[in-house]
Amino acid sequence: MAASTLSYLLLIPLLMVVAYAGNLDQEFDITWGDGRAKMLNNGELLTLSLDKASGSGFQSKNEYLFGKIDMQLKLVPGNSAGTVTAYYLSSKGTTWDEIDYEFLGNLSGDPYILHTNVFSQGKGNREQQFYLWFDPTADFHTYSITWNPQRIIFSVDGTPIREFKNSESMGVPFPKSQPMRIYSSLWNADDWATRGGLVKTDWTKAPFTASYRNFNADACIWSNGASSCGSGSGSSSTSSSWLSQELDTTAQERLRWVQKNYMIYNYCTDAKRFPQGFPPECRTS
C-alpha cells in the first residue's frame, strides 16, 4: 500500500505548500448561509452562524492528498443543544473518502460531544466519541488531522485522541487516492444530535455562532491531476515530517490517557452492533 502511494509521490518534484494563519479569506470560500458566514479582521477570523431559517458553511479552495491540517475553533457557547458544528475532509462521488470532526451541542453546563468518523470508499460506521478535558466554548483550541499513507491521527491541542491505521492488508480500504477538500458547517440536527433527539434546539437563543482562526495546512495540494508533493529534491525538511509520522511512546501514552478518561463511545467495542464480529481494523486500534 504505502510503497505504491509513496512511489507515485516520488515522481513529482517537491513543493511543500504551507498555508499560514491569517489567510482564511485566501484559503476558503463561503459556500452557503446567505450572509450568515462572515470573514472578519481582514481574513483572520471566520464565523458561522445558525438561526431557525438556515445554518452556514465554507469549503477550502484547495484539494489535498495527505497533509497535516490545523484549525482553531471556538464552539457555540451556552445552550447549544441540537446544533452540530462539522469540520471535515471529504472527496466527492458515491465511493467518497472522509475524515470527520463533528461537535454535538448540549444544554448549558453539559459537555460537548466530539464525534469522529473515517469513511473509505463510501463506507463509514467507524465512530468514536469523546468528551473534552476543557470548555471548548470559552476559548479557541486547535483541532488537527494528520493524514499520511500509513495512518490518520486526530489531535486536540497537540494531544492525539484517535489513530486510524492503514489496514489494507486486512482488506479494509484506506483513504489514499482521492483528493479531499476541507468543509465546515454549522447546522440544526435536533432530530438526533443531543440525547438522540430528545433535546431540541432552543431558537430563543439564536443566532448560534462558531468561530475559526489560525488555519495551517502543511499538505500536498492536488491540482490538475497532480500532487504538489514528492521527494525528488531529497528533502529532509521537518515541514514534511507528517508524511511518515507515527505516534511515539509519549504520544501513545497521551492517546491512552484520552481514551481511558474521555472516550464515551468506540465502535470497536460495541458488541451489540457487530454480533458477527468486530470490523477487522479493530484488531489494530
Instruction: Provide the pairing of β-strand 141-147 with 63-74.
Output: antiparallel
pLDDT of residue 283: 84
Lowest mean pLDDT among 5-9, 173-177, 210-214: 5-9
Q: What is the pLDDT of residues 246-284, one digit of tens each?
A: 999 999 999 999 999 999 999 999 999 999 999 999 987
Among the listed residues 195, 196, 201, 211, the one whose alpha carbon sits nearest the alpha carbon of residue 79: 201
230 falls in which pLDDT band (50, 70, 90)? low
Residue 260 parent element (H or E): helix 249-261
Q: What is the mean pLDDT of residues 121-146?
A: 97
Is the predicted pLDDT of residue 231 greater than 60, yes or no?
no
Residue 83 parent element (H or E): strand 83-90
Which residues make Cβ contacts (< 8 Å) with residue 40, sequence separation at least 6?
Answer: 46, 47
Q: Are 160 and 59 in contact (CB under 8 A)?
A: no
Q: Are 190 and 55 in contact (CB under 8 A)?
A: no
Q: What is the mean pLDDT of the chain?
A: 90
* Reported pTM: 0.90
Active site residues: 98, 102
Q: What is the pLDDT of residues 153-191, one digit of tens each?
A: 999 999 999 999 999 999 999 999 999 999 999 999 999
Q: What is the pLDDT of residues 28-68, one digit of tens each?
A: 999 999 999 999 999 999 999 999 999 999 999 999 999 99
Spatial distance between the Cα atoms of 261 and 17, rounded to a whole number of angstroms: 36
Is the predicted pLDDT of residue 13 greater than 50, yes or no?
no
DSSP 206: P
Please identify, in words, the CATH class of the domain defined by 22-225+239-280: mainly beta
22: region left, alpha or beta (phi > 0 left; psi from -120 to 50 alpha): left
Which residues make Cβ contacts (< 8 Å) with residue 243, sequence separation at least 6?
Answer: 66, 148, 149, 229
> How big is the chain by its Cα radius of gyration, in Å?
19
